[in-house]
Structure 1
């Protein structure tokens, strides 16, 4: 079984051979971020596929935020580049939950928290504890928090 990191490296080699500049530079930067994460801390270690996914998700989020910033700054060309890089990375991430799927999970978690005696805005932490493991890697934290907040209001 190939690890996700090995797949990224294979895809990088393919992209370089195909002279796909966008894909190769995006994968190169992502692999650098993974390596940086591996040597962070007291001991160098190999990241698990889940940890690699987190790094990819973080990199994809950076691209989205940069694209927004460039777009607001009137730099459409750079914004498009960031969006394209984000799309390359999205291909490695699990499919994100739809708003409806996420809302259903949140509603169920709110019910669970209520059953445990946590209600209203103060229940935010309790609900997030229930929701986060279920949606890890399938929905962005900010999106989840916003829906939980709305459900508790």
Structure 2
């Protein structure tokens, strides 16, 4: 379903001559195709989502690196590409929602200290894959368990 949407959007962006969107979706389609060769089958919905998440993470890291190096022109292009990729990701949890979900998971798992952080993070990542920022979640869990 997600892969079909990516294909449809690629075709419409190509017809509309949206260069940045075409480039991003072409790279995304290639990554999905490579995964299908690697798996020996078409990737399922979760695997396609993982690919989109990986591409978005790469863009975020590039933005950070380009900004540090003072290359705002390249950072701006990566920001535009990230915006396109985020259109294929589920809506992120707000800070308040994230905090409430972490509190619920801490209560559910009986986590009492930093030794239980891995268990809480594992459940959080399983339940809200693609909907949380791992770094922010980790900091929040660490603050609540300290």
Q: TM-score range by the shorter chain?
A: over 0.9
Deviation at residue 137 of structure 1 after TM alignment: 1.7
Pick from 80, 86, 96 the counterpart of residue 84 of structure 1: 80
2:134 alignment partner in structure 1:
141
Question: How far apart, in 1, do the equivalents of 2:51 and 2:16 lie?
Answer: 25
Q: Which structure 1 segments of 5+ residues have no match?
A: none
Whether 2:125 is the aligned partner of 1:132: answer yes
* Count, aligned residues: 146
Q: Which structure 2 segments of 5+ residues have no match?
A: none
Whether 2:21 is the aligned partner of 1:28: answer no
Deviation at residue 127 of structure 1 after TM alignment: 1.6
Q: Deviations over 1:65-103 (max 9, x none)?
A: 101111110100100000000000111111100111001
- The TM-score normalised by the length of structure 1 is 0.89
Task: State the SS of the aligned residue for 1:95.
Answer: coil
- The TM-score normalised by the length of structure 2 is 0.93
RMSD: 1.3
1:18 alignment partner in structure 2:
16
Q: Deviations over 1:126-152 (max 9, x none)?
A: 222332222122113222222211110
2:59 alignment partner in structure 1:
63
2:101 alignment partner in structure 1:
105
Q: Deviations over 1:103-130 (max 9, x none)?
A: 100011111222xxx4211111222233
Question: How far apart, in 1, do the equivalents of 2:70 and 2:103 lie?
Answer: 39
Task: State the SS of the aligned residue for 1:63.
Answer: helix
Task: State the SS of the aligned residue for 1:19.
Answer: coil
1:45 alignment partner in structure 2:
41
